[in-house]
Amino acid sequence: MPMLDLIRFTRLAAFAAVLILLPAALAVAQQAKNTVQKPWPADFEAALSKPGKVTLYSLNPYKLNSLELRDNPENLYKYKVLGKTDLSAEQAVEAIAEFRLAVTQFNGDWAKCFSPRHALRIEMKPGDVYDLLLCYECSRMLTWHNGQYMFHYGVGGKSDKLNAMITAAGLQLAKPPGQD
């Protein structure tokens, strides 16, 4: 092989390697970027640390259409409420700990979907309400303050403890992913 052809071949092979490896490198960089989550705002942290009334929700993970939304004002952010229960102070601490744990267990990867099966409503006082909707399946949690979207976080872990709390309260539990 003449020297000029060898140089061209080497350059072409290097270019091909870059094209093949670049998407993987970008994916790893994006995953690393996703794992760095912003700290919770001070008012949100205060609500979690010293909550008032706390309600645990069991949700149907599929968004309702506009006709279904009109029929039931008890729905939560376009999701049908399967059941809800007001928590004692001890239960509230346990539920909030599970939501916090989910955020700390985020591995940097989430799905584009959002199918929440669990929610917490923290009412500090009348008219001062924080809502957290949690989707373990999609690895995301969305939050609202007084009905206004605030932010989202990546989550990880399992729903076992929240499911046990919902079941213990005698509420309907959403079917697990893949079984609905």
> Given the DSSP bridges, would you call strands 140-145 and 128-135 parallel, antiparallel or unpaired?
antiparallel
What is the CA angle 123-64-174, rounded to 5? 70
Residue 21 belongs to what domain range? Answer: 1-36
Pairwise pLDDT comparison (70 vs 145), residue with the higher score? 145
What value does the mean pLDDT of the chain take? 82
165-178 average pLDDT score: 92
Most confident of 27-36, 103-112, 151-160, 162-171: 162-171
Beta bridge partners, 144, equal 131, 149
Q: Work out the angle at residue 164's Cα, subtended by the Cα atoms of residues 61 and 137, and round it to the nearest 5 degrees.
A: 35
- What is the average per-residue pLDDT within 97-114? 89
String of b and e for 144-162 (b: at least 16 CB within 10 Å)? Answer: bbeeeebeebbbbbebeeb
Interval 130-140 mean pLDDT = 94
* 104 and 51 both lie in a single domain: yes
pTM of the model: 0.76
98 and 26, same structural domain?
A: no
Alpha carbons 62 and 67: distance in angstroms, whole number: 14
* pLDDT (average), residues 21-30: 47
Q: For residue 93, what is the domain's CATH number?
A: 3.30.1490
**Residue 147 and residue 100 share a domain:** yes
Residues 98 and 123 in one domain: yes
- Count structural domains, the chain: 2
First to last CA, the chain: 62
How is residue 85 written in tokens? 């229960």
Q: Does pLDDT of 167 surpass 60?
A: yes
> 3-state class of 119 per DSSP?
strand
Asked if the model's pLDDT at residue 68 lies above 80, the reply is no
Same domain for 85 and 60, yes or no, is yes
d(CA 25, CA 7): 26
Rounded to the nearest 5°, which phi and psi values hold at 171?
A: -95, 155
